[in-house]
Amino acid sequence: MLKQSISTAAVASPTVMDEASLIRAAQQGDQDAFATLVHSYDQNVLRIAMNLLRSPEEAKDVYQEAFLRVYRNLDSFRFDCSFPTWLYRIVTNICLDHLRKRKVRREECAVAESAGGEYNLLEAVEEHRADNNPQRKLLTGELRTRIDRALSDLTPRERMVFELRHFQGLRLRAIGESLGTTEEAAKNCLFRATQKMRAALGDYA
């Protein structure tokens, strides 16, 4: 751990370090180059997983699975697309799998659960912003349930596109590439997701 931290500190920052050189070095088995590559993107990857799955354990699983898949397949990366596009394609596939599995599980459990007894995942995670305004806090509290429900009612693809565009700031073209679809399809997905959320919030927004 100590060795790794120092080694990474001694390396130039990713802006100075040419990414293509890093990828080539990692392809030749340079583990430090691989670590530097991981560190350039892993915070975003973890944030995407956390925002989508709202569970530190599942986010951790996605992180491991994604970067191990990158490590195993780095040899086959031929620079046909940018590295982040390739990485996000892997991450989105894994996250979509998790979301789909979860949806199936939820549908299976839906009959057994009472309507009001559902576990609110948003209660279990730390809020990104400390909000000190009591009025806003109250409003946020009421909105929370509706947004939570609206987000969980989106299809996994809609949820993914909304996440990548709204929270990660990726362009729709890049999102289309990551999801193996067209920009137009990503656009439609974002539109549907926003409309659904808008309808679910009703008078609150």
Of 112-131, binders to another protein (CB under 8 A) are 122, 125-131
Q: How far apart are CA 162 and CA 191, in angstroms?
A: 9
Q: How far apart are CA 142 and CA 121, in angstroms?
A: 15
Taking the complex as a whole, how short is the minimal distance between the CB of residue 173 and another protein, in angstroms?
9
- Of residues 164 through 203, those in contact with another protein by CB under 8 A are 165-167, 171-172, 187, 190-191, 194-195, 197-198, 201
Closer residue to another protein in complex, CB, 104/184: 184
Closer residue to another protein in complex, CB, 5/82: 5
Closer residue to another protein in complex, CB, 108/154: 154
> 15, 77, 8, 90: which is closest to 48 by C-alpha?
90
Closer residue to another protein in complex, CB, 39/104: 39
Taking the complex as a whole, how short is the minimal distance between the CB of residue 56 and another protein, in angstroms?
5
Phi, psi of 80 (to 5 degrees): -70, -25
Per-residue contact flags (x/-) with another protein for residues 41 to 60, judged by CB under 8 A: -xx--xx-xxx--x-x--xx
Q: What are the start-end ranges of the E strands in the chain?
A: none
Stretch of 22-30, 78-86, 91-99, 101-109 lying at the interface with another protein (CB under 8 A) = 22-30
Three-class secondary structure of residue 21 per DSSP: helix
> 39, 10, 11, 34: which is closest to 22 by C-alpha?
34
Does residue 102 touch another protein according to CB under 8 A? no
Q: How far apart are CA 132 and CA 24, in angstroms?
A: 48
